[in-house]
Each structure stands twice: as C-alpha cells, then as structure tokens.
Amino acid sequence: MCLAIPGKILSIVSPVDETFRQGKVSFSGIVKEVNLCMVPEATVGDYVLVHVGVAICKVDEEEARQTFAYLQQMGELEEIKPSD
C-alpha cells in the first residue's frame, strides 16, 4: 500500500530553478530530504504530506498529528525509520 506521511518542514533549500526545491522534513524526529516542487507555497514550519519523497500538499498541524498517530497505530511507519 502506498501512503503519504505527514511531516514538518524544518528548512528549505531554494535553488534558482524551483523544479529542484528541496527541504528537510521531520517525521516525528526522523528527518528526511524531500522534494518541495509541488508545494511552492510551503514555508518552514508548515506541515506537508509526503509520498515517495515528494511533498504533495500542505496540511494543518492537527490533521498531520492525527494522521501520524493513525499510521503509528497501524504499524505503517517502519519504512521511514533510519536503517542501522
């Protein structure tokens, strides 16, 4: 099953070409680099849904927390944990 995981944008790297706009996104403490080209309006501190390394939309903080809690309960967050 493919899921979109909510995360909080910690920082944004904005190159000259917006196609390659990247950001560091925290998924409850696990930080990953994410492509932000589909959410040009997103800023540091915003919550986004991320699917396969690409932020696909902004969400409010409460929705992000609730979705993350559901995914944890379902055991669907194993793939975002860093490998040892």
The pLDDT tens digits of the residues spanning 13-69 come to: 877 666 688 999 998 888 999 999 999 999 999 999 999 999 999 999 998 889 888
Residue with tokens 């992000």: 64
Closest among 5, 11, 4, 74 to 43, alpha carbons compared: 11
Domains of the chain (ranges plus CATH)? 5-76 (2.30.30.140)
pTM: 0.80
